[in-house]
Amino acid sequence: MAIAPIAQPAIIAMVGLGQMGLPMAKRLIEAGFAVHGADPAPAARSALAAAGGKAFPTAAEAVVGAAGIITMLPNGRVVREVLLGPDGIAGALPAGTLVIDMSSSAPTDTTSLAADLEPLGLPLIDAPVSGGVKRAIDGTLSIMAGGPQAEIERARPILAAMGKSIFATGPVGSGHAMKALNNYVSAAGLIAACEALLVGRSFGLAPEVIVDVLNASTGRNNSTEVKMKPFVISEAFNSGFSLALMAKDLRIAADLAGHLGLGIPQIATVADLWEKAKGSLKPDADHTEIYRFLADMDANRSHAA
């Protein structure tokens, strides 16, 4: 028997109302869902309430009566703690409640979590996103959904309220794997663009010309199109996605390759480089500040010589 999609005005609990979770919750409200949000930050709760949602300080309060639970939390360990920790909410959820982890979690953690939720009758899909705060606000995120196809279809009205492109990626955990791999390709492209800018500037090329040529040529990528002029060349470094989060996602991608026994050299090299940048720059550094790290590396090397 087909499972009916979760439709408006069902209650959806959003656990985590941070930079991404809050605008995503607002999109759900605009789509006609009754949103219960949980976050320890009073400002986040006030913002959700002002948008028409109901806000609670704890997940246990927010999930009462919910047909679907969305977790938008720092990592998979926190997601597990919220669901299955000493004060976890999973035991109080009715069987059949759909759990949607939209955090950037490690795929192996996700498969383990799904296996532990199954005896409780709680299906899990992983549905991480790409697009940043801007696309969370306008509801055009790309969403990578892993899990049973029937559960993905059940979640589709929820996901469609937040994203423009929804990809069913395969079994549970595959969405998180795809998110990490996407960010690896994105981060590698940003490093390449920043290094090209540093070399070109040293040779006397104007930064804007470098980017314009790349964007009209085969070197074009998301970073050259979206990030280099507004965030790097301008030195604004305020894209809204942190360097620490990018480093985390890259470590997930590198660890996945290692878990699969793949001896792929660049993925580990890129992950290590971003880890070093995280340790060198301020804790709240924007991910476009990788340019500063690369420039400092070059400057330090020159002084040492």
Q: Are 146 and 191 within one domain? A: no
Q: How confident is the model at residue 299 (pLDDT cuts 50, 70, 90)?
A: confident
Q: Which pLDDT tens digit goes with each residue over 76-131? A: 999 999 999 999 999 999 999 999 999 999 999 999 999 999 999 999 999 999 99
| Residue 162 located in a structural domain | yes
Structure confidence at residue 242 (pLDDT): 94
The answer to whether 18 touches 71, Cβ cutoff 8 Å, is: no
| Structural domain count of the chain | 2
Q: Are 72 and 123 within one domain? A: yes
Q: Are 164 and 195 within one domain? A: no
What average pLDDT does the chain have?
A: 96
Q: Are 30 and 155 within one domain? A: yes
The residues near 1 (Cβ < 8 Å, ≥ 6 apart) are none
Q: Which pLDDT tens digit goes with each residue over 201-212? A: 999 999 999 999
Q: Are 138 and 280 within one domain? A: no
The burial of 98, by beta-carbon neighbours within 10 Å (0-12 exposed, 13-18 middle, 19 or more buried), is given as: buried
| Residue 156 located in a structural domain | yes
Structure confidence at residue 178 (pLDDT): 98
Q: Are 282 and 248 within one domain? A: yes
Is 248 marked active-site? Answer: no
The answer to whether 273 touches 191, Cβ cutoff 8 Å, is: yes
| Residue 50 located in a structural domain | yes
Percentage of the residues of the chain whose pLDDT score is greater than 90: 94
| Residue 5 located in a structural domain | no
Percentage of the residues of the chain whose pLDDT score is greater than 70: 98
| Residue 4 located in a structural domain | no
Q: Are 146 and 38 within one domain? A: yes
Q: Are 206 and 299 within one domain? A: yes
Q: Are 119 and 150 within one domain? A: yes
| Residue 116 located in a structural domain | yes
CATH of the domain at 228: 1.10.1040.10
Q: Which residue, 138, 171, 204, sits at the end of a domain?
A: 171
Q: Are 204 and 300 within one domain? A: yes
Q: Which residue, 171, 193, 210, sits at the end of a domain?
A: 171
Residue 304 has pLDDT above 90, yes or no: no
Q: How confident is the model at residue 298 (pLDDT cuts 50, 70, 90)?
A: confident
Query: pTM to 2 decimals?
Result: 0.93
Q: Are 197 and 161 within one domain? A: no
Q: Which residue, 144, 171, 198, sits at the end of a domain?
A: 171
CATH of the domain at 62: 3.40.50.720
Structure confidence at residue 300 (pLDDT): 72
Q: Which pLDDT tens digit goes with each residue over 188-197? A: 999 999 999 9
| Residue 212 located in a structural domain | yes
Q: Are 86 and 31 within one domain? A: yes
Which has the closest alpha carbon to 258: 180, 183, 162? 180
Structure confidence at residue 186 (pLDDT): 97
Tokens 């992950």 found at? 271
The parent domain of residue 247 ranges over: 177-304
Structure confidence at residue 303 (pLDDT): 56
Structure confidence at residue 305 (pLDDT): 54
| Residue 1 located in a structural domain | no
Residue 141 has pLDDT above 60, yes or no: yes
Helix (H) or strand (E) holding 14, with range, is strand 11-15
Q: For residues 301 and 305, give the distance between their C-alpha atoms in angstroms, rounded to a whole number.
A: 6
Q: For residues 73 and 61, give the distance between their C-alpha atoms in angstroms, rounded to a whole number.
A: 17
Which pair of tokens denotes residue 113? 């979590």
Active-site residue among 179, 227, 248, 278?
A: 179
Q: How confident is the model at residue 169 (pLDDT cuts 50, 70, 90)?
A: very high
